[in-house]
Structure 1
């Protein structure tokens, strides 16, 4: 430290002391600030490193998510069926199955009855034909043919008997207004046949229907011998889907398959 003896020396000493003090302060400040700066720099560096490491990860995740989202697509060429395309097996209730079985059984029984009746009618018709042949050679036969060509009705007054009797007139020509075996129209034929069994039908077809509605029973399961009616025409049900009738001019009494729209009446 300099020694100051006078005023000038004291001034010089003060300047020297101030300079030394300022220098010392500057050195101290530098000594403190450098580590702090280095520490701050190190922390900033570390934070930057941490950020640089975390940001790419976040960006990568977002890129992967975007990639996955974009990669989801639908195949327009695929054929997707609706509910109606499902192959669901149909099921029936016990009641439905039972009803079907009963209907099937009833139909089988009806067909069997028709077949039996038709066979009985065929046999009876054959028997009547033999009787007629015998009557033609015997003048004392009680079943001889009358002057108008008619024959006696069979003894059995049932549907099969009606069919058997009616079958004898196959081949008789259609005659408009005809009511005898010399020639029949449709209602004349049915009136003649049923009359032999004690049934007095009116002359015209629609009147026969009215009579049948009043004295018979309309049925949906026709049996041999039932009266058949449709607008403008009548006939007799034979069985097995067949009928006998006098069709139209130029035709003759014949057995043919039943055609549509007939009503059936049980009158015997």
Structure 2
């Protein structure tokens, strides 16, 4: 009987092993019990992908003349370093400054040329005006003729040291007028105050007399008035004796 039980247990174990169930333990007690304890454990199913090593490999044929692009044909954007960018900015600024300086120099040169042309035009006009407006010297040689001739130069410019209608000072004006009548006078007003014959007072003065001191010279035209070259602003004018500024003067007659 015990032998039959052992055989039966072995048969059961073999059956479980083939069915995928592992026996954990089979306990028998031939002396006390005929019950069986069986423990089983199942294993998860594993799916394994298998590669067909015998399948034919797929290949692609490419013409040897095919153009797949290369480094020479690739359009790669070029970037510049900070130093290169700063150098280019500095060069552009320098070029702009040079162009502005050249433009400014050209403008200044054009302006200077324009001013020169204007001065030449004024000089030519002044010369032509002087040539055409210089009065004819009267044939009579007396004081009245001198006074009348001198007044025709009213408006002529004042130029320090000048002795012609294009520009003269006070004594240069007096010397020029008398020279047109063949009378030679000293160059300075102080020396002109000593020429000819002295006239005692203004009441006895006549047109054509010289009125002068060390600072100013003029030609008397009558009625307390004189014709004289005053200053650059006023030029040659007919004024009162106030042109002497209240200083003493000498009245001299040369005709």
Q: TM-score normalised to the size of structure 2?
A: 0.44
Q: TM-score normalised to the size of structure 1?
A: 0.42
Structure number with higher helix proportion: 1
